[in-house]
Chain A
Amino acid sequence: SSELTQDPAVSVALGQTVRITCQGDSLRSYYASWYQQKPGQAPVLVIYGKNNRPSGIPDRFSGSSSGNTASLTITGAQAEDEADYYCNSRDSSGNHGVFGTGTKVTVL
């Protein structure tokens, strides 16, 4: 399967922890990368590979993977973390990119 499935929406209280999941068969072979997108803006890379953060991304963002599921965890969510989050990986052939369906994170 070339699909990556995410929960449509999650909410988290300010300062609490939220985990966003991404499921797909190809994740057994390939790592996911994660992108934050705020309204009207281009996506921004927040996590890639096993658990790597680009420069400038706060350390409250972390990634993990187990079996066919990749996860993005925000520990101590801030108001500015409210956004859409997308996972990305490859399809089972390894030759094509595929994005997850996206998760809207609301910080209460």
Chain B
Amino acid sequence: QVQLQESGPGLVKPSQTLSLTCTVSGGSISSGSYYWSWIRQPAGKGLEWIGRIYTSGSTNYNPSLKSRVTISVDTSKNQFSLKLSSVTAADTAVYYCARDAVTRRENWFDPWGQGTLVTVSS
């Protein structure tokens, strides 16, 4: 079964760029008609969708983050990545990656990675 694992620095300085990678195992990132999404959750708060990528490279981003977000995919490594620029303390959160199934009227996230905490602090 497909499993996802986030990796990257747990501490990022303000104004710098947060970079995370999600490694997909147990299946090819290119198989099936799936998108691959990033989602985050500040401590004690709700979930926020950041954006998604299709293996063709097509992307959709949360309008509130669009100016700072870049999601890319490396099919040869079975990975997709998140870059969030000009971070502030408000970007401190647990970041999740997830497989995103999308149809005409539905979408759902399954499975999810375990999540990785990123703290923005000097």
Contact = CB atoms under 8 A, between A and B. Distances in A.
Contact of B108 (A29, A42, A49): A49
Interface residues on A, range: 20 to 34
B48 A45 contact: no
Grouping DSSP codes into helix (H, G, I), strand (E, B) and loop, the A interface class, with mixed when no group exceeds half, is: strand
A44 B47 CA distance: 12
Contacts, number: 67
A101 interface: yes
Interface in B64-112: 96, 100-101, 103, 105-112
Contact of B110 (A29, A37, A54, A99): A54
B46 A96 contact: no
B49 A99 contact: yes
B107 A90 contact: yes
Nearest to B94: A42
Contact of B49 (A48, A96, A101): A96
A42 B52 CA distance: 18
A107 interface: no
Interface string B6-37: 00000000000000000000000000000001
Contact of B106 (A30, A35, A37, A95): A30
A31 B61 CA distance: 20
B115 A42 contact: yes
B10 to A, nearest CB: 16
B109 A95 contact: no
Interface of B: 37, 39, 46-49, 52, 60-63, 96, 100-101, 103, 105-115
Given A31-B106, A49-B108, A97-B100, 15 more contacts: A30-B105, A35-B47, A42-B114, A43-B109, A45-B110, A45-B111, A48-B106, A88-B109, A90-B107, A96-B60, A96-B62, A97-B37, A97-B49, A97-B52, A97-B107
